[in-house]
Amino acid sequence: MKNLNGIQFSVYPYHNKGEDRDTRIEAHDPSIGEEYDGKKVGTLIGDMSLDAGSGEISGVNVREDYQRRGIASHMFELAKISHQVFPNIHPHPEHSEFRSDSGDAWARAVGGRIPPRERL
């Protein structure tokens, strides 16, 4: 794993009982944060959304100036182990069949379950 230089990661499991079962994993850079309620809060630089029930990843975003540093890959690794703390999260994340060219390359690089691709 690449050096992530102080990047902070958080996992937010879904809590409602409706149809929305998205779990969100976020990456923040505390060195470029803002004050919020008297505390310095890191700027959001990346996020991943996945369906907690099926494990399907519905989106991965990393700010352009932070790409190719291992941030998305680290979020994927967190998705694979989050069920140890949050048992309602599927233990095997699966890449969406709807992937961009860069998303397809990233999916193949990090591995995991990769269904046939429908081009975006």
Span 3-15, pLDDT tens digits: 588 899 999 887 5
Q: Kindly report, residue by residue over 97-115, the tens digit of the pLDDT.
A: 999 999 999 999 999 889 9
Pairing outcome for strands 56-62 and 94-95? parallel
CATH architecture entry for 8-119: 3-Layer(aba) Sandwich (3.40)
Share of the chain above pLDDT 90, in %: 57
pTM assigned to the model: 0.85
Mean pLDDT score of the chain: 87
pLDDT, tens only, 64-98: 999 999 999 999 999 999 989 988 888 899 999 99
Residue 71, classed as helix, strand or coil, is helix
Which pLDDT score, from 0 to 100, does residue 56 have? 93
For the sheet with 56-62, list strands across it.
8-12, 22-36, 39-51, 56-62, 94-95
Vertex 24 angle, CA 20 and 25, to 5°: 165
- Taking 50 as the threshold, does the pLDDT of residue 24 lie above it? yes
